[in-house]
Structure 1
Amino acid sequence: MMSSLARRAKRFSQVQVIVGMLMIFVALLAGAANYAFAARGDSRPQLYLVSVGSGDPDNITLRAVNVIKDADIIFCDKEMRDRFPILLQGKEIHDPGFGIFAIYGKSPEEAKKNKRFNYEEKIKEFNEINSIIRKAVSEGKTVAVLDSGDPTIYGPNMWYMEAFEDLNPQIVPGISCFNAANAALKKGVTSGKKTHSVILTASFGNEDYSGLDSIENLAATQATMVFFTMFLDLEKVVKKLKTHYPPQTPIAIVLYAGYREKEKIIQGTLDTILEKTKGEKLPFEHLIYVGDFITNRYKTADK
């Protein structure tokens, strides 16, 4: 019987072959894209914020592969380098400056209140990134900043779009962990019994947050809610949700959405989920869904 390690190695090899084939295919698309830009009289963008998708490497889109292939300079973390070794081979690669989002656009006094990131270090990183990108663009080079999931949903690199607004940066969309988790649940998130709306939120993860979209205000609608779980305390969330949702309201926790080998779902109700997760350390990569869509069916059982 093939071991788990052997299966992962085989899977990784297959993914790299697929990515290699995609690179050949998108080379043909690149010629067509360049022709389209020239025909319109537009200059091709030189700075991109590119989603590489969530989970396994083959969740990346053709457009993302194409842009990365044509880029001269890449900004990405080590995890992405390990996920796409063939695609990034021979590229000039720099660190994207995780945490700059916490200080960008703020006064030094305000930014230094953030205890998670060192202000001076992040300012230094920003100045280095700014210099690299502007020099590259002035030399006619193309730069791609890589991001996981959908960069516009709680993405740490959206500050690039404002900092380099004068360079007309473009976003290449991709599969969010939200999309991947929806697929794992095999349910239509807008197909609830009582509501057809979905709220995406991470507001409860920050203890200092004082916006109008508190969990109590959001829960009052009893719409389907999806929690992006940065610094989230499940016990506190369940307690607050119970002030508006019935205790039998379905809840699902999707772990490692988009990873075929690791993806897992823990399902229960607001009354049972804490017991079902007791003793289990939830990873950083998980989403929490609350809503009756989880158990709703188009066809009810025959009576």
Structure 2
Amino acid sequence: MKNKVIGRGKFYVIGKGPAGPQMATLQALNMIEQMDAIVAPDNDVKLFAEYVGEKPVLFDPWEGFWNYEGKQMLDLTEDEMEKFRIKRFNLRDERVNTIKEFLIQGKDVALLDAGNPCFFGPSHWYVEQFDQQDIVIIPGMGCEAAALAALGKSIIPSYDTRFVMQTAPLYLEGWEQILKDLNQYPVSIVAYMTLSNPKKLFAGLEKLYPTDMPCAIVYWAGYPDKQRVIRGTVADMGQKLSEDEENHMGLLFIGRFLNGKPYEAAMKQQ
């Protein structure tokens, strides 16, 4: 049951998993059904239509979030980027006010966020504008869980690996030096948002890792009709990714765990 203050609604962020209802938790599906209004893009509304029902959909939270005047965020000039920032903040504030009006009326609003909303979760663009008492976050399965299931390997323990690093190249200023330092230790890497310039990424990785270091990319993890895996090495993965038509939905894995029997090897070493 929902735990809410009488007379005031709450803003729910519901982690819906990496795909449709088949990858969502029972808690997530139950909470979607209980909401008074939904914030979600059209595709998610269609995927979860059975649970959304006739509830009003207030807006698509990501419309205007990643692009400006028909151009993707990464392709903007410095002047366009400045204008984009102003427009995006103003748009965010307008939408937050819309949600708050519903909460004042005692209605509960849910934003459907992909995967795990607290890991690379853009929903916090909205969450941080509310009082903590007005927020409820429903956890969801991240795409890395679905992707690792597709790979069928233990990322840790595996061989002598000591930890797993989850990041994205665009969040690592001077990432080549960071990876050079980390390369002193046995580490497996899960990298998000790596498809924009794979040749450049792997040109840097080739300077740090043996050319036979295994890699894999899982496209559309968790989507039964779209999921696929491409395997390779640091030496050839950049070329493989640059030749693939998909340039958005892919999760990259790098590490020895992709070969052999990594869990058994770890047990023997222990």
Q: Which residue of 1 aligns with 2:44?
A: 80
Q: CA 1:278–1:64 in structure 2 vs 1: closer, same or farther (change >3 Å)?
A: closer
Give per-residue Cα distances to partners, 1:88-141, cap 9 Å, x unaligned: 121111224326599xxxxxxxxx877297234323422322222222111111
State the Cα deviation string for residues 265-287 of structure 1 (Å, max 9, x = none).
11122123345446322331101
- Indicate whether 1:241 and 2:209 are aligned: no
2:187 is aligned, of 214, 223, 243, to 223
Is the contact between residue 196 and residue 248 of structure 2 (CA under 8 Å) also seen in structure 1?
Answer: no
Structure 2 Cα separation of the partners of residues 280 and 144 of structure 1: 35
Q: Residue 128 in 1 paired to residue 76 in 2?
A: no
Counterpart for residue 170 of structure 2: 205
% same residue:
26
Unaligned 5+ runs, structure 2: 68-77, 266-270
Q: CA deviation at 1:222?
A: 4.2
- RCO comparison, higher one (Cα < 8 Å, 6+): 2
Which one of the candidate residues 117, 121, 141 is aligned to 2:107? 141
List per-residue Cα deviations over 1:37-90 (Å, max 9, x = no partner): 59xx99997111111111243111111111111111111111111211222121
Contact persistence 1:253–1:267 (CA under 8 A): yes
Report whether the alignment pairs 1:181 with 2:181: no
Q: CA distance change for structure 1 residues 216 and 299 in 2, over 3 Å: closer, same or farther?
A: closer
**RMSD over equivalenced CA pairs, Å:** 3.1
Structure 2: distance between partners of 1:42 and 1:289: 47
The change in CA–CA distance for 1:66 and 1:285 in structure 2 (over 3 A counts) is same
- Find out whether 1:51 has 2:15 as its counterpart: yes
Residue aligned with 1:260, SS: coil
* In 1: Cα distance, 2:55 partner to 2:18 partner: 22
What TM-score results when the alignment is normalised by the length of structure 2? 0.81
Consecutive unaligned residues in structure 1, runs of 5 or more: 1-32, 103-111
**CA gap 1:44/1:199 in 2 versus in 1, 3 angstroms:** farther
Q: Which amino acid aligns with 1:82?
A: K
| CA 1:235–1:278: 2 relative to 1, 3 Å | closer
What TM-score do you get using the length of structure 1 for normalisation? 0.73
Structure 1: distance between partners of 2:65 and 2:13: 15
Could you tell me whether the CA contact under 8 Å between 2:8 and 2:104 is conserved in 1?
A: no
Residues 170-195 of structure 1 show CA distances to partners (whole Å, capped at 9, x for unaligned) of: 11111111111011111111132231
Mapped partners of 1:57, 1:146: distance in 2: 12
The answer (yes or no) to whether the contact 2:198–2:241 under 8 Å persists in 1 is no
Letter in 1 for 2:11: L
> Number of aligned pairs?
253
Contact 1:101 1:157 in 2 (8 A): no
Corresponding position of 1:29: none
1:196 — aligned with what? 162
Change (3 A) 1:231 1:167: farther
